């Protein structure tokens, strides 16, 4: 009963906050000629030598600007972490990254549960040389002591922010979640010349509908692509405790017996279709095989599997 009342109060607060955040159109957003999204951490891969886990880290190369989106889960607290191992495997160097973009402050995006508790982020559970680059986070956050980080500064990007020409944080969108509480999440937007806006999303707690609405508010440009997590653990999930589908319980703004369902997946597919997206790729880290199949069937040739080590090039 108390959790139900808390959720209802959180929902009200989140809605009020969402309605209060309106932004002017971005004039002259700039554009990049090419975009590549290389998943470094996610749930599936076609490369048996790569590490996988139910977390997210994507290397986004927009023109010649490189943004790392999230830093994985590192569920076993390893050093080197799955992220660092996969970076070595795919020849990605930390020193070549120009910015870090943290979608939201959940353990599978920050490098572990202790990072979520302490409001830090870590690339591994041993020393790594973190470059002198800005970190964009929807809420205040600190480097963990494992990140050797001279000169790296955290910028709270609750509001839309220009990261590089054609590369933007679209601003945070709040949502109340059962147990996890109020969650602030931001998505990355890249304007690819002649194509439109590609949205790169972490867990998708905001709902893809609201991400698309925000992108439309900010840009007078077509929505070209949706890549990343949308949180559809329907008929299965990636974090199971016995029969309990943890992601379905904690990732919804409804009570567990009324949680994320087939209808939510259909509504998301309809919203993405209505936006006219030409490229769709759904992360398996927080969506079930059932949901991925629905997306694949709905979008046909526009659907691309999201696999660790396999670049999505636009």
State yes or no: residue 106 binds Zn ion (CB under 5 A): yes
Cβ contact 51:40 at 8 Å: no
Place of tokens 């919804």: 252
Return the number of the residue (127 or 244) whose C-beta is nearest Zn ion.
244
| Of 314, 25, 14, 17, residue with least CA distance to 168 | 25
Candidate segments 34-42, 99-107, 145-153, 234-242, binder of Zn ion by CB under 5 A: 99-107
Q: Does 60 bind Zn ion (CB under 5 A)?
A: no
Does residue 184 touch Zn ion according to CB under 5 A?
A: no
CA 313 to centroid of chain Cα atoms: 18
Least Å distance between CB 250 and Zn ion?
8
Compute how many residues bind Zn ion; rule: CB under 5 A. Answer: 4
Which span sits near Zn ion by CB under 5 A: 151-159, 188-196, 242-250, 280-288?
280-288
By the rule CB under 5 A, 203 interacts with Zn ion: yes
With contacts defined by CB under 5 A, name the span among 34-42, 104-112, 119-127, 237-245 that binds Zn ion.
Answer: 104-112
Q: Which residue has the tokens 């095989």?
A: 289
Comparing CB distances to Zn ion, the nearer of 131 and 237 is 237
Q: What distance in Å separates the CA atoms of residue 116 and residue 310, rounded to the nearest whole number?
A: 28
C-beta atoms surrounding 313 within 10 Å: 11
Gyration radius of the chain over CA positions: 18
The stretch among 78-86, 101-109, 189-197, 265-273 that binds Zn ion (CB under 5 A) is 101-109
Told to check if 286 binds Zn ion by CB under 5 A, we report yes
Q: Residue 278 phi/psi, 5° resolution?
A: -100, -10
217 or 305, CB closer to Zn ion? 305
Minimal CA–CA distance to 177: which of 119, 248, 267, 271? Answer: 248
Query: Is residue 277 part of the contact set for Zn ion (CB under 5 A)?
Result: no
Q: Tell how many helices (H) and how many strands (E) occur in the chain.
A: 8, 21
Applying CB under 5 A, the residues found at the interface with Zn ion are 106, 108, 203, 286
């Amino acid at each position: 009963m108390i959790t139900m009342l808390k959720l209802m109060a959180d929902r009200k607060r989140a809605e009020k906050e969402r309605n209060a955040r309106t932004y002017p159109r971005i004039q002259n957003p700039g554009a990049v000629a090419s975009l590549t999204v290389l998943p470094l951490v996610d749930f599936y891969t076609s490369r048996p030598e790569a590490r996988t886990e139910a977390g997210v880290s994507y290397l986004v190369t927009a023109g010649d600007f490189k943004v790392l989106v999230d830093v994985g889960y590192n569920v076993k607290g390893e050093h080197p972490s799955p992220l660092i191992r996969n970076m070595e495997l795919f020849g990605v160097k930390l020193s070549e990254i120009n910015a870090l973009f943290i979608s939201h402050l959940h353990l599978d995006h920050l490098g572990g549960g202790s990072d979520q508790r302490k409001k830090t982020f870590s690339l591994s559970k041993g020393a790594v040389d973190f470059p002198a680059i800005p970190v964009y986070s929807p809420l205040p956050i600190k480097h963990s002591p494992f990140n050797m980080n001279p000169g790296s500064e955290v910028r709270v990007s609750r509001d839309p922010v220009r990261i590089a020409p054609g590369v933007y944080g679209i601003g945070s969108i709040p949502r109340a979640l059962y147990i996890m509480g109020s969650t602030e999440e931001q998505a990355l937007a890249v304007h690819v010349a002649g194509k439109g806006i590609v949205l790169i999303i972490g867990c998708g707690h905001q709902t893809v509908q609201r991400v698309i609405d925000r992108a439309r508010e900010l840009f007078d440009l077509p929505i070209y692509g949706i890549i990343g997590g949308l949180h559809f653990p329907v008929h299965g999930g990636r974090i199971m405790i016995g029969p309990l589908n943890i992601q379905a319980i904690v990732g919804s703004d409804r009570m567990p017996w009324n949680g994320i369902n087939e209808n939510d997946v259909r509504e998301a597919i309809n919203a993405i279709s209505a936006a006219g997206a030409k490229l769709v790729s759904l992360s398996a880290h927080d969506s079930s095989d059932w949901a991925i199949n629905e997306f694949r069937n709905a979008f046909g040739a526009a659907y691309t599997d999201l696999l660790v080590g396999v670049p999505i090039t636009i």
